[in-house]
Amino acid sequence: MALTAKAPAACTARSVKVGSRTATVMRVAAVEKPTNWTENYIKEVPVSLLRPGVDTEDTIRAKFEKVIRDAQDSICAAISEIDGKPFHQDAWTREDGGGGITRVLADGNVWEKAGVNVSVVYGSMPPEAYRAATGTAPADLEKAKAAGGRVPFFAAGISSVMHPRNPHCPTMHFNYRFFQTEDWNGIPGQWWFGGGTDITPCYVVEEDLKHFHGTYKAVCDRHDPAYFPKFKKWCDEYFLIGHRKETRGLGGIFFDDLNDRPAEEILAFSKDAVNHVVEAYCPIIKKHMNDSFTEEQKQWQQIRRGRYVEFNLVYDRGTTFGLKTGGRIESILMSMPLTSRWEYCHEPAAGTPEAEFMDAARHPRNWV
């Protein structure tokens, strides 16, 4: 059955009085897409979202799909066990090929919003999306564009953002993906892996950060000792909010356009990394989910979530690529928190825990 999708393409804002200050609180609202944008929702999720008879079990595409489907099941199970509330699931297909499984836990006991998405899609993208997908453009892209047409692509990935209620519990994001283009107008087909896991607390708790970063250092070291320092630095640089000169959170690992060794080796690394999300994150949540907090600490969490929104809408490659290629809007913008706030010229007082966080966001640290 084809349904018209809704897209959170508009926001509502209201001003609230906080002591002597006025703050803006923003909530993402849903608006109708044009009626010619349709999605096919399905009740039963197929064993595979790949093309039957084309992408066989021995292909990287099939192996990667199994990794992300298994990871979605195990991570959602672990989060539900902590929260006590199940995930809602939507399964869908795309007219151009492939589909996805979106799972969202909303208004939970521990998490305000947690989502884990899997997508396996085929299609064609406008040449302008090439840069959004790769971060760079082939030298002969302009010549290829002049020849006309669209770039055939395959993209599979798992992505997640989890926003807890308690400001002492960090937000966590992860994304692991495999992307492949076919030959197009003289530009050879390409493939690469990307991904990473990063943490966005509101406060600096060194023990927690050492645990999180230490977990991923161990993962990286099993595959290549050069990975962790490289991918940790890459994470700090990628999640920089350029117009603020501060990072979105306190790091993790990030890699993209990775194709410098056999695909099977990078697949094994990606599998190991996504399978350690629970170990890296859940002990921190269990430690803090019942911590007491003040209204001022909750307000600080809302301000940091405003920074989260700024980064995702302005800088995030996955978001911009999804919007340029007609991706499923509800899945693309699943990362948005339920509420955020912006205060005019807000700066934490010196010597406060909030100021300590800002120092770490402006001057990235090595935690392990």
Torsion of the alpha carbons at 182, 60, 68 and 337, rounded to the nearest 10: -30
120 with 65: CB under 8 angstroms?
Answer: yes
User: What's residue 41's pLDDT?
Assistant: 84
Place of tokens 């064993």: 47
Among residues of the chain, what percentage have pLDDT more than 90? 64
**Contacts (Cβ under 8 Å, ≥6 apart) of 162:** 79, 111, 113, 114, 115, 171, 172, 173, 281
Q: How far apart are CA 243 and CA 247, in angstroms?
A: 10
User: What's residue 39's pLDDT?
Assistant: 61
Q: For 301-343, what is each residue's pLDDT tens digit?
A: 999 999 999 999 998 887 877 777 677 788 788 788 889 999 9
> What is the homologous superfamily of the domain 39-362 according to CATH?
Coproporphyrinogen III oxidase, aerobic (3.40.1500.10)
Residue numbers in the chain where pLDDT is lower than 70: 1-39, 128-148, 186, 325
The active-site residue, picked from 88, 163, 168, 173, is 173
Q: Where are the domains of the chain?
A: 39-362
Q: Is residue 173 flagged as an active site residue?
A: yes
Q: How far apart are CA 337 and CA 170, in angstroms?
A: 13
180 with 65: CB under 8 angstroms?
Answer: no
**Contacts (Cβ under 8 Å, ≥6 apart) of 334:** 102, 104, 115, 117, 159, 161
**Beta pairing, strands 151-164 & 6-18:** unpaired
User: What's residue 86's pLDDT?
Assistant: 97
Helices and strands (H and E) in the chain: how many: 11, 14
User: What's residue 44's pLDDT?
Assistant: 85
**Contacts (Cβ under 8 Å, ≥6 apart) of 54:** none
**Contacts (Cβ under 8 Å, ≥6 apart) of 169:** 110, 201, 284, 285, 288, 289, 291
User: What's residue 336's pLDDT?
Assistant: 87
